[in-house]
Structure 1
């Protein structure tokens, strides 16, 4: 829990948009992991395994939908960081701006970008966590990047007017 607690909590928050539900889900994830530890074969990293459990618990709790509320940037929930106040404010602003655009994308694209860029999972790890073929994950990432670029460009051209 010490090593992966923040990751599990951020992921649950990303999927639910509700901090209290994310905390409940985090507890359930670690209970499931504890109960199933002997069945962990080591085919993936512990991080990927816990992410998979987190995604499954979130889907169980919320159905296929995500974001009961519009969440703020999940990285804000990370504690113990040692950035200066100014650097942290700039980083949050940049990530929040990207997250705002990300939330306008279809759910599979949101998921792919979040797992790849925020949790830094490989495409293989994302495929394992989401039970999707790796080619599908790569395709979603590619299309999600294009859609995100269009979304940002669209807003920039609107702001220029």
Structure 2
């Protein structure tokens, strides 16, 4: 949990857009790992394995609840020091704007963009985690980047390309 706890929570948050759900999902993911300590077979990295468990927990959690509306997005906590209050304020504003754009993307694009940008997963790792073909991962990631760029420039992320 020390090494991957924040990453697991962040991933659950990106999947659900809800901090309270991310708390429950990340806790459930680590409980599954604790209950089955020999579950890691070494076929992927530990992070990919934990994300797969987290993803399954998130989908199970979402099946039992209904997401009917857009949930306001707050800023995801970041660790680090800023050189000045002004620099921190400008940086936070920029980061908030980027995360708002990312969180507005449809889930199938948002997930891959986060796995790529935040967790630096390879296409193969993303394909294994999501159960998608590598070609599908590549095309969705490309569309996610394009939609994020369009949204950043003022367009809607829901417009069809």
TM-score (norm 2): 0.81
Compute the displacement of 1:130 (Å).
Answer: 1.0
Partner of 1:158: none
Candidates 69, 72, 76, aligned match of 1:70: 72
Native 8 Å contact 1:17 1:66 kept in 2: no
Listed as ranges, the gaps of 5+ residues in structure 1 are: 156-161
RMSD over equivalenced CA pairs, Å: 2.3
Partner of 1:83: 82
Q: More helix per residue: 1 or 2?
A: 1
Counterpart Cα distance in 1 of 2:30 and 2:70: 23
Alignment of 1:117-156 (within 5 A): 117-155=117-155
Listed as ranges, the gaps of 5+ residues in structure 2 are: 156-161
Native 8 Å contact 2:108 2:140 kept in 1: yes
Compute the displacement of 1:48 (Å).
Answer: 0.8
Native 8 Å contact 2:112 2:141 kept in 1: yes
Counting matched residue pairs gives 152
Native 8 Å contact 1:16 1:69 kept in 2: no
TM-score (norm 1): 0.81
Q: Deviations over 1:89-145 (max 9, x none)?
A: 333322221222223322211111111112222221111111111221111111111
**1:41 is paired with a residue of what secondary structure?**
coil
Counterpart Cα distance in 2 of 1:36 and 1:135: 33
Compute the displacement of 1:87 (Å).
Answer: 4.4
State the structure with bigger RCO (CA 8 A, min sep 6), 1 or 2: 1
Q: Deviations over 1:29-64 (max 9, x none)?
A: 011112233131111110111111111111110139
